[in-house]
Structure formats: C-alpha cells, structure tokens
Amino acid sequence: MKRLIPMISEKMLIQELKNLVAFGILHRKAYKEIPPRVEYSLTSYGHKVLPIIDQIKTFGNILIEKDHS
C-alpha cells in the first residue's frame, strides 16, 4: 500500500490500517518471522464496501474533468 500512496507517512498508514481492521473491512495476519511480516486482506464485509468506493472514485473523476474543462 505504501507504494500505491507514496506521500503517506508510515504512522498514518499504520493508523488507517488499524482503523480498517477495527471496522471489520480488513483482516490482519501477522507472521512470526524475522523480519516481522504482516498481510492484510479484505473481509467479506470489506468486499461489500467496494462498490461504494468505486462510486466515490467515479464521482471524483467527474469533478476532476469538470475542473479541467
């Protein structure tokens, strides 16, 4: 995710991931390895949110096009 959002700080990314886990949107799996490794995946509840996010993205793109025309 850090590569997809290069301007986000490590602290903010961790905070947002914790929030998404707390809301039940993401599942967090920690591996007892050195170096430590953590994987996040969408929960079934998280999959239900995807159409809403897609609509917000579409709306945002419409606003961007409107501002550039």
DSSP secondary structure, 24-44, as one string: TSEEEEEE--SS-EEEEEE-H
CA distance 46 to 57: 16
Q: Given the structure tokens 């050195």, which residue do they identify? A: 34
What pLDDT, in 10s, does the model give residues 12-57? 999 999 999 999 999 999 999 999 999 999 999 999 999 999 999 9
Count of H helices and E strands in the chain?
2, 2
In this prediction the pTM is 0.75
With beta carbons less than 8 A apart as the criterion, state whether 38 and 29 touch. Answer: yes
Does residue 24 come out as left (phi exceeding 0), alpha (psi in the -120 to 50 range) or beta?
Answer: left
**Domain 10-67, architecture per CATH:** Orthogonal Bundle (1.10)
